Amino acid sequence: MRNRLIPRRLAAWGPLVLRLGVASIFIGAGLQKLIGIWGGTGIAGTTRLFEVIHLWPAKPLAIAITALELVGGMLLAMGTLTEIVGGLLVVEMLVAIWKVHLVHGFFLNWGLRPGVGHGIEFNVLLIAALVCLAFIGPGKLSVDGWLQLRQKSVDSQ
């Protein structure tokens, strides 16, 4: 059932807002891994983390995950290959839960207690958003939506 407070003509904006929000998180995380901004550790720090959590080969994986987050985030923002990129990012989040966050429980460490990591809460939210995008698609306001409209107009001629 549609929310009656929001006009039907605005429904196309929903997937766009979701895509841009999720994309901004992954692009930001990718930049942290690539160049170490916003408290990130760069490729060297990401490689060290992967070594500590026994993800091998650490450096190629660090580069691949950084590329996935940056390029995947940009593709999500544009609404291109949404289901494929979303699936790859879900796998990344599942590995992050398994190798890093699960031992810390469900919730984030809001108090920033020393020696206590963040739980799976944020990863679960990202997985839910990515799965939602896979189910509903990128929406009309996307590159894929534009290509679909273009194909329909070619098919109808």
Tens of pLDDT, residues 109-155: 999 999 899 999 999 999 999 999 999 999 999 999 898 888 877 78
CB 47 within 8 A of CB 32: no
> Model pTM?
0.90
- Cα–Cα separations (whole angstroms), residue 8 to 2, 3, 21, 142: 8, 9, 21, 18
- Cα–Cα separations (whole angstroms), residue 111 to 40, 107, 114: 20, 11, 9
Give me the residue spans of the domains in the chain: 14-155
Tens of pLDDT, residues 33-88: 999 999 999 999 999 999 999 999 999 999 999 999 999 999 999 999 999 999 99
Determine the angle formed by the axes of helices 58-78 and 82-96, rounding to 10 degrees. Answer: 140
